[in-house]
Structure 1
Amino acid sequence: MARAGTVARRATAGLLAAAVVTTVGAPLAYAADRQTPTKATSGTADGRQPKGLRTAVDRLVADGQPGVIVMTRRGNKVAHLGAGVADQETGTPMDPRLQIRIASISKTFTATVLLQLVAEHRLSLDDTVDHWLPGVVRAGGNDGRHITVRNLLQHTSGLNEYALDPRIQTQPERVWKPQELVDIALEKKPLFEPGKGWSYANTNYILAGMIIEKVTGHRVESEIGRRIIRPLGLKHTSMPQGTGFSGPYVHGYYGSYGDVSTLISPSSGWTSGGMISTVDDVAKFHRALFTGRLLPRAQQRELTTTRAVIDDGTPENYGLGVYRVRLRCGSAWGHDGGWPGYRTWAYTSKDGKRQAIISYNQTDEKLQADPNFRADLKKVTEAAFCG
């Protein structure tokens, strides 16, 4: 399974913030003190589950995840499973209806809006960043006159990652402006000439969001809402302004630091990873996207034209804000997302007949690097997607 071990790099804009957040003092220590031991539980389920999925999901809880949610589709048959707890303090069971932070799955929303604007002839994928954001990328040897919109969406810009900077890591509650995040990345020289390499960087999608706002004259949250969220009826999906949720939510835990659910400003992720949703809303969005309901044919081809890349030692095929992986029963499209306390994997077949959305609520790097945990996660993915 792709990228089970890429948490440190793929985690969206601040995943490592909680690891060094002891500098902000009491909140995390208090959260850690409130933790109580959790044992594996069969949890809840609806619909007819694929064979072996319940056992595989329970293994993830036994491995150390507080809770796990799975949504699975095989044709018209949809099932949801919840195991473990959504809140360690209260013991509230994991429930697929609860909101989660979807992190880098936000990138697919951003890419979709930009491709819709391309279809409307309001910009081109070959436009340069400097064309829309004059002078914004002109520092540290980085030059927006040579970086295209396509480079941003495909992570071929050569721009550095801003999220690992100590200023991001040690100020989790700060409300960041997009320009501030970009400026951090521009302090370093480019990794390669635009188009001459591949390196995943949240910086690309912050700039993509800024371009959406420049082209439309509207806040990007408004455009995502008007173009995707409302037409698809994604009632539990949004890009929040504050650290809270808009409804009942899964509590997220970061290793020994405890409950970090509402301690990190989503502004550090914004259009790269600041959204919240539910497994059903993510599934509905991806099914509409990959079956061609959101983009004209030409832009659909652009979305799913991939290049073979190596991400943290793992081969994958990356398109424009989406990727393709090979599972036992065929190819799956989607994206994954990591945020302190949350990890979500989303897979959809191109015909929309198979789906698997998997989310769990602890980002413990030691656990996620454990070969046994990774093997168990692969079993969940294969069972949920392939049946």
Structure 2
Amino acid sequence: MSLSNGTEVDLGPLGRARITELLGQGGQGFVFEVRLANGEALALKWYRPECASVEQFNEMQRLVESGSPHERFLWPISMARVADQPSFGYVMRLRESRFLELSYLLSNTDREGRVLSVSFASTIAMCRQLSYSFLRLHARGMCYRDISFGNVFFEPEHGDVLICDNDNVGVDDGTSRVLGTPFFMAPEVVRDLTYQTLPSTDTDRHSLAVLLFYTLFLGHPFEGARTDAGLRDTSWLLTYFGTEPVFCMDPAREDNRPSGIVQQYWAIYPRFLQDLFVQAFVAGAHQPGLRITEGQWIKAMDRLRDGMVTCRGCGATGFWDVAEPERTCRSCATSLQPPYVLKIGRRTVAVSPLATLRTDHLASGVDDSVVMGQVRAHPQDASRWGIHNLSTRPWEATYGAGQVVRLEPDRTMEISDGMRISIDSTTVLATRWQGG
């Protein structure tokens, strides 16, 4: 039963609010905008009576009491009741209109049908934020149980994400009324026709890997030549996503190669990233304990960002990696080797117009990484490069000959071989790349 505009809703400790607008509806219920007495707007999910079970109420109450694991989750803030109504609901923050459903990334259009421009940097940021957010959720002993397109929203310009429909979340204790969304469910869940294999952190990790593969390669990891034929019915789903899944880029099998676009994107990225997906969808498809963890994905996204360069031949974005120094541009075959690299601990940043020094370089476990320095090309001499201090504190640089220079905020210093930059307690070593 839907509610009408103007209906008063009791939000417990938040006080009372009134419904102002119907935002949408689905199988479980309705989503309204409500406004508190102070004018603040929130989103109210109101369950249909047939979905408003005691078990559902108790689960939602536990989520409210536990609090959000991260601000990217549109988490239940308070339970909601309406006088003389048999159902209930909960309120959460409103999703800003700048966030799009993740499916728009595949169609490459926005809500108005205009071409969507999402940079590689934004795509990497999306993958990193998703990985970090689910890391925080799993660290609480919880699992999401239904990671899929429909529950993730992204902001195209910067790659910020929001995770919605958090009434799917539960304690990772082997009890669940949610199995997941087809195509995203782990193979062991799909193939268990007794419905005894329930979502867990392990199955979340499979679903997350599928989501990341879609985001980076614009296709499903198990779809290819094998899955193209036949009716997409229950038997088809059971076979290709449950009992006999074959990774489309499995190096040992070529019978399920995907569309050309997926293969083109696959070739763009370095081997280390490809290897992670091979593990996730070959060994990990059958052995949940071998799936890639959220921490591994975070490190991979940082390494990918560190190797992002601009091709000197055609200007296309490419990915160089210290383990594959001979990588060339996908568009014009020009070498992607950088003139210099910046070594920060175990990490190596390729010098290019896309290179940055960020807070995740200075400390491990950083979530929202902030750019502290930007590499800049000399406007008249392509062989010369500088580092611009975007932080609020001065840095100290020591040149190879021993000269010490202070780099003030908003100033640029030329990069040279052997130069050391001290940023807080971290040392950045600049070296000319010579193939080793």
TM-score (norm 1): 0.24
Which is higher, the Rg of structure 1 or of structure 2? 2
**Comparing both structures, which one devotes a greater share of its residues to strand?**
2
More relative contact order, 1 or 2 (CA 8 Å, 6+ apart): 1
